[in-house]
Amino acid sequence: MSVKTKKASNAQAKEFDEKWNNPIKKPYLEKIILNIGVGSGGEELEKAVGVLQQITGQVPLKTLSKVNVKEFNLRKGRPIGCKITIRGKNAEKLLKRLLIVNNNKILRKSFDNFGNFAFGIDEHIKIPQTEYEAGIGLWGLDVCGRIIRPGMRVKYKRKGRSKIPQHHYVSRMEAQYFLKQNFGVDIVKKLDLEYI
């Protein structure tokens, strides 16, 4: 990292710290969503449900196909995957466990400008406190997280709904800084995972 880049990142970090002194501007991890797309129902889907249940300790929701795709033998309304949403302190604990798989590294391109980030895990048994079961096999899953500021529910509530100004969303740089500060995450251009 060059001196000029280092000075710019230090200035930005200082700006974020000053902004976060205001409790309404301080971001937090709203939720973590785990998703496994199976592509079909039946026994395979039940195994995927068992995997998410083993990781989180909660019962996942089955996702349904939204369209008919003749080539893949998909019909609208049929279950094709499963997902689960974890919020609050449980989401923070789970994210710490999931980040260990990638050596606490996330790709720079995994963030958007609204506080969302995502990464994949190729084998669920790499997650700490998860055991291999021969009947279930190995499953990959998607992990999506959302970082927001207080007051975002105004956008979604039924009564008195209002728009959120752009400056109240968590930007890409701010989300990366938040994960560095709170979860010790390294933001990298390329993942070079070390296997023991």
> What does the DSSP 8-state code read for residue 111?
B
Mapped onto helix, strand or coil, the DSSP state of residue 126 is helix
Taking a C-beta distance cutoff of 8 angstroms, is the pair 59, 85 a contact? no
Rounded Cα distance, 65 and 77, in Å: 5
Higher local confidence (pLDDT), 8 or 83:
83
What integer pLDDT is reported at residue 94 of this predicted model? 94
- Average pLDDT rounded to a whole number, residues 82-91: 94
β-pair type (186-188, 105-107): parallel
Q: In terms of pLDDT, which residue wins out, 195 or 110?
A: 110
Say what the pLDDT of residue 71 is.
78
Domain coordinates in residue numbering, the chain:
23-187
Is residue 9 very low, low, confident or very high in pLDDT (cuts 50, 70, 90)?
confident
Strands 28-37 and 141-148: antiparallel
Torsion of CA 103, 104, 107, 111, to 10 degrees: 150
In the chain, which residue ranges form alpha helices assigned H by DSSP?
3-19, 43-56, 88-101, 172-183
Could you read off the pLDDT of 65-79 as tens digits, one per residue? 888 877 777 788 888
Q: Select 23-187's CATH number: 1.10.510.10, 3.30.1440.10, 1.10.760.10, 3.40.50.1970.
A: 3.30.1440.10
Residue 148 burial (CB < 10 Å; 0-12/13-18/19+)? buried
Cα gap 101→143, rounded to integer Å: 12
pLDDT score for 196: 44
Whether the Cβ atoms of residue 177 and residue 15 lie closer than 8 Å to each other: no
Report how far Cα 35 is from the mean position of its chain's Cα atoms.
Answer: 10
pLDDT tens-place string over residues 31-58? 999 999 887 778 888 999 999 999 998 9
* Residue type, position 172, single letter: R
Percent of the chain's residues with pLDDT above 90 = 50
Identity of the highest mean pLDDT range in 2-11, 26-35, 130-139: 26-35
Name the pLDDT band for 99 (thresholds 50, 70, 90): very high
3-state SS, residue 151: coil
Tens digits of per-residue pLDDT, 120-161? 999 888 888 888 888 888 898 999 999 999 988 899 889 989
